[in-house]
Amino acid sequence: MKKFALTALAAACFAAPVHAFDLGSMISAGTDLVKSATLSDADVKAMAAESRVVMDKQNKVAPASNAYSKRLTKMVKGLDSEDGTKLNFKVYLTKEVNAFAMADGTVRVYSGLMDKMNDDEVRFVIGHEIGHVKLGHTKKAMQLAYATSAARKGAAGSGNAVAANLSESELGGFAEAVVNAQFSQSQESDADAYSVGFLKRHNYNVQGGPAALRKLAELYGNDSSLLGSHPAPGDRAVKLEKQIQSM
Q: CA 235 to CA 86: how far, in whole Å?
A: 32
CB burial of residue 186 (10 Å; 0-12, 13-18, 19+): exposed
Secondary structure element (H or E) that encloses residue 238, with its range = helix 233-245
Known catalytic residue at 129: yes
CA 205 to CA 227: how far, in whole Å?
A: 29
Catalytic residue among 129, 170, 176, 188: 129
CA distance 107 to 82: 11
Q: Contact 36/160 with Cβ under 8 angstroms?
A: no
The residues carrying an active-site annotation are: 129
